[in-house]
A = this chain, B = another copy of it.
């Protein structure tokens, strides 16, 4: 059984199905970020009840704590964190750059200082595959070389081409099955920054390797929404229709709607969970800052008609109280709502694509989800 089946297309927008050894997920899909082996502030059952079907784990965080061998000893990431559905792990490369101390990148890999104890370690393509093999996610990501920001002249091309070489090392290194005996699907990552020629070269090289899926990396790093759109429009037509496309680390609801229009199938982002912990929620009629005094006595749910646990049970007034009192439950309840919103947004997009009315769906919802709610 192949990882991806395309069910419907509407313009470039696609509706499909991911099928893994840990069950299926309809696409477009938003994957919740479970950095250290949990989506922050919620139980796996609350994540599932919110409509989330794929959870992401961060290889860097898990390899430094509790360690890949410990996760494997506890049955792998699925069993340890009690997530029965599909999972994806990243390569660890991004956090090596963003979290660890001074690091040096060579053709061999990335030398970094573990941000917990300062110990120097090496992350190579082979090591990333070894760790992800032990964690046991259904989808694993190649290690890529990440240019600094702003990238020095020539560095963008060098890192993109090195990333292709590292992809080949990842493919050679990844065992046929996870440590738990399940299939793992290795995605390559299209790089090249905002240089469309480099992006096309990267995509072409990856597609020649006939991968189970293709990610688009290096976006949502400060470029304009117009620039992001330009990259997606250059890259997605080069990718085969029969494999899923994953836009890494993106983003706002409007970013998802625009990227889906370009043919992207998969997303992940810390945004809905992170902003929830800072008292912001997404609704179909825009964003709400829940510490705002206007909510003090509101008996309304966050979003009238919303079927999430939070909206079925609690008023804005109570939620604001919890946030002002710095009660953990406030963060938990806002996280549940935001996860549900992202799941509903992608489910709504899918339904519109299947019905051949995705453009109308975007025209109706994009201006409102991007605005300020009431």
Q: Which residues from chain A sit less than 8 Å from chain B, CB to CB?
A: 36-38, 40-44, 61, 65-66, 70, 73-75, 80-82, 296-297, 299, 309, 313-315, 317-318, 320-322, 324-325, 327-329, 331-333
Contacts and interface: CB of A to CB of B under 8 A. Distances in A.
B37 A332 contact: no
A355 B37 CA distance: 45
A325 B66 CA distance: 9
B80 A315 contact: yes
The 5 nearest A-B residue pairs measured at CB? A66-B321, A36-B325, A41-B328, A38-B329, A74-B317
B65 A317 contact: no
A67 B61 CA distance: 42
B332 A65 contact: no
Given A74-B315, A299-B74, A332-B332, A327 B81 contact: no
Contacts of A328: 40-41, 328, 331-332
Contact of A82 (B37, B40, B65, B313): B313
B327 A40 contact: yes
A322 to B, nearest CB: 6
Contacts of A61: 325
Interface centre among A74, A80, A328, A329 (most CB of B within 10 A): A329
B38 A322 contact: yes
B81 A318 contact: yes
Contacts of A38: 322, 327, 329
Given A37-B322, A74-B318, A82-B313, A296 B329 contact: no
A80 B333 CA distance: 14
A332 B70 contact: no
A37 B74 contact: no
Contacts of A65: 321, 324-325
Contact of A317 (B43, B66, B321): B66
Contacts of A299: 73-75
A321 B61 CA distance: 11
Contacts of A44: 313
A65 B309 CA distance: 24
